[in-house]
Chains A and B, each alone.
Chain A
Amino acid sequence: MYTKKKCVAMLLAGGQGSRLYALTKNVAKPAVPYGGKYRLIDFPLSNCTNSGIDTVGVLTQYQPLVLNEYIGNGQPWDLDKMNGGVHVLPPYETQTGASWYEGTANAIYQNMRFIERYDPEYVVVLGGDHIYKMDYSKMVDFHVANNADCTISVIDVPKAEASRFGIMICDEKNQVTDFVEKPKEPKSTLASMGIYVFTWEKLRKYLIENEEEANAKRERGEAWSKDFGKDIITSMLRDGQRLFAYEFEGYWKDVGTLDSLWEANMDLLSPSVPLDLYDPSWKIYSRSSYMPPQYIGENANIENSMIAEGSTVDGTVDFSILFSGVTIEEGATVNYSIVMPGTVIKSGAVVEYSIVGSDCVIESGAKIGKSPEQVANRDDWGIAVVGHNVTVSENKSVEPKQIIGENI
């Protein structure tokens, strides 16, 4: 017996996150650590709970072990429910055969039975790789007030960056008139945040149509796709459905690349960035590690940094984010860097402008990354990245822009 839900959220967490390279070798992108004690997926999951959405399907297919383990029964996000709650939905085999998720729309199509159990009015579609705090219930209210078929959350981006996003062109009532994916000459600066509210009945219809159309094209040997932005939104616009843009104001950051992941972490240290992790009315929940409080030693020198529980710091830490259980030995230096859980930075090692993955050992005298000032040609500068479980031996270096996934 399933009771009816007004809203069901579907979280697309299947992405490989190939642009995060070494950090997603064994971990799905939504399980990538962020902000000292979180993983990317904590943001949409916490937003769901704080918005009163208590039924969430998480669509996974790439390296699901860590992510499945992390989500577990959903208890850290209060999503362990008798009716509803969080459910991990991997691809599965049926009588007609097995199929991987062939795009974002297809992933939801394959799980229509999950949604229908709750007979919802609306379905909220979310991504797993954005950092933001958002009340989805306000967006649903906006959707209802406009009698919309689909509402797309948008954010005003600088004109120079608009060509990186899917851009919405709207009339004065916020009704979407056109949608262009990564336009060369953007006609608007309203970028899609990859957050959609659909009237379920309409979404259902378009998912089935897209599936049939795409399969027919595939049989004819034509190009096909089963994607939200590309197919569902475009078809709905073509058919004159009511699509609206819901303008979001606040902090929103896509962490699709190593640079943006580093920046999004550094943003937490900037007083001008409006992302408050200490607001008791909108907490970001995460699965805790049961470690003692952090210990800061006699020789420590810490400035403008964020450090999580279980860490031991006796070295210099400046403008950096240390995750739980990190050790910074006396005489080690960490500047403008992100150090993920369980990593040890030994005495005399220098880590600058870098991302160091979890459970790494940076031996003494090793040098990871450089500041932009230390690099003669500015084009050669970029953050250095050490993947998870990597040992960097004594006196070895990792240059700016270099990404290593194996011991050196």
Chain B
Amino acid sequence: MSVNYNVLGLIFASMHDGYVSELTKQRTMGSIPFGGRYRLIDFPLSNFVNSGVTEVGVITKSNYGSLLDHLGSGRDWDLSRKKGGLHLLPPYSQTGGIYKGRLDALSNIWSFVEHSNAKYVILSNADVVTTIDFNPVLQQHMDTEADITLIYSKGMFDSDKNNCATILDFDSENTLSGVLVDPQMAGECSQWLDMLIISKEFLKKIVSEAASRNQYSFTREILQGKNNEYRIMGYEHKGLFMRIDSIQSYYTANQMLLDSEKRNALFKKSMPVYTKIGDNGPVKYGLESDISNSLIADGCVIEGTVENSILFRGVTVGKGTVVRDCVLLQGTKVGANCTLSSIITDKNVEISDEKVLTGSETYPLYIGKNGKI
């Protein structure tokens, strides 16, 4: 893909942090580890890069130390550029305190957007994992002369299990006719992927109007409030998407990658997912190792049994240990003769020999960062 200087990418890296409070205790949404070797922000960043968008701003809110560490200069995404490149936009609010919603956040970083030569802006969150090419969306946005194009996918929604979903309704012309936030319902519906395309000019108008009225919520003020006034269109993304809106959905989303079809839908040869390089050695399997249906990242050393699990970089599993239905984040050390089932361990957890830990698939047991058992 050649470079498209006409588009600016913006990522809200801290949106919906509160729904996965366990994982965001010492980090923000964008830096939550995912899929063995990634952080959530790798997906929107790679989507931008693979679509030719090489000017990207990352809007942070709090706990963003680990995010800064992960992103560095943006080199691993090929975003360490003179023209465009990666820009980190830490929180700052004109109204005092940290910004409240998308419009407030955009108002605070407006000078960055203003400075860009891009004609269009694509907004994305970090809590929706998907692989998408933005070029067809941009094309549709221009063809339909929309003010805003929302990217959505059809998928199952259950208000008992899901949080922070925005359900969209479109009329026969594909223009937005209804917007519900977390409605009490269950079933298949069009869910907003929290991604949209808008012209810089139009974004400037709505951001400055919102600022003058002290409004901050994009969903409430624009999608629900100006639904009839603005030309808001939908673009259906047909690929796989996963929304990380609870520790359970985090667990399920990781587990989903054990399905080859889903894995191939997320990791396409033509759209590689970039991430920070760790320079770990290959995975080493010992003489008595027994592995089945698992996703294993570089740097792991496995002497025991691993089933239906996701092992992040540098995990070690001792002899005689059985790891079943687990998600073990980077640097987890499991000793010998342990039995772990349905466990999520955060970074650098150490589990000593002979321990038995059991969670349930619907309610996995979470062990916090650096925990020692």
Binding site for B on A (CB under 8 A): 35-37, 75-76, 277-278, 283-286, 288, 290-309, 312, 321-322
Decide: B75 and A292 in contact? CB cutoff 8 A: no
Is B349 at the interface (CB under 8 A from chain A)?
no
Cβ-Cβ contact count across A and B, 8 Å cutoff: 106
Interface pair B274/A290, CB less than 8 Å apart: yes
> Does the CB pair A304–B291 fall under 8 Å?
no
Q: How far is the CB of A187 from chain B (nearest CB, A)?
A: 40
Q: Determine if B267 and A37 form an interchain contact, defined as CB atoms under 8 angstroms apart.
A: no
Residue in chain A with minimal CB distance to B291: A296
Do residues B297 and A298 form an inter-chain contact, with CB atoms below 8 A? no
Contact A293 B75 (CB under 8 A): no
CB distance from A280 to the nearest CB of B (A): 9
Do the beta carbons of B282 and A308 come within 8 Å of each other? Answer: yes
With A291-B272, A293-B295, A295-B263 as contacts: A286 and B285 at CB distance below 8 Å: no
B289: which A residues are within 8 A, CB to CB?
Answer: 302-304
Residues in B lying within 8 Å of A, measured CB to CB: 35-37, 75, 257-258, 260, 263, 266-267, 272-275, 277, 279-299, 301, 306, 310-311
B296 touches which of A283, A296, A299 (Cβ 8 Å): A296
Q: How far is the CB of B222 from chain A (nearest CB, A)?
A: 36
Looking at A277, A293, A301, which has the most chain B CB atoms within 10 Å of its CB? A293
A218 to B288, CA, bound (A): 62
B258: chain A residues at CB < 8 Å are: 295
Contact yes or no, B292 A298, CB < 8 A: yes
Known contacts A300-B292, A309-B298; A294 and B283 CB within 8 A of each other: yes
A-B contact pairs, 30 of them (CB 8 A): A35-B282, A37-B282, A76-B277, A277-B282, A278-B301, A284-B281, A288-B277, A290-B273, A290-B275, A292-B35, A293-B296, A293-B310, A295-B260, A295-B294, A295-B295, A295-B296, A296-B292, A296-B294, A296-B296, A297-B293, A300-B292, A302-B290, A303-B288, A304-B285, A304-B287, A306-B282, A306-B283, A307-B283, A308-B283, A321-B282
- Given A304-B287, A308-B298, also A293-B37 (CB < 8 A): yes
Contact B273 A293 (CB under 8 A): no
In the complex, the answer to whether B298 meets A300 with C-beta atoms within 8 Å is no
Cβ contact within 8 Å between A302 and B282: no
A277→B314 CA distance, assembly (Å):
12
* List of A residues within 8 angstroms of B306 by Cβ: 296
The reply to whether B36 and A306 contact each other, CB–CB distance below 8 Å, is: no
Q: Are B277 and A306 in contact (CB under 8 A)?
A: no
A37 to chain B: which residues have CB within 8 Å? 281-282, 298
Q: What B residues does A306 contact at CB under 8 A?
A: 281-285
What chain B residues lie within 8 Å of A296 (beta carbons)? 291-296, 306
Chain B residues within 8 Å of A292, by CB: 35-37, 257, 263, 266-267, 273, 295
Q: How far is the CB of B297 from chain A (nearest CB, A)?
A: 4
Residues in B whose Cβ lies below 8 Å from that of A308? 282-283, 298
Contact status B279-A286, CB under 8 Å = yes
CA gap between A278 and B266 in the complex, in Å: 29
**In angstroms, how far is the closest chain A Cβ from the Cβ of B62?**
29
Chain A residue nearest to B275 (CB atoms) is A290
Within the complex, what minimum Cβ distance (angstroms) separates A95 from chain B? 36
CB-contact partner of B293 in A283, A288, A298, under 8 A: A298
Select B287's contact among A290, A291, A303, beta carbons within 8 Å.
Answer: A303
Contacts of A277 in B (CB 8 A): 281-282
Given the contacts A75-B75, A305-B285, A297 and B292 also touching, CB distance less than 8 Å: yes
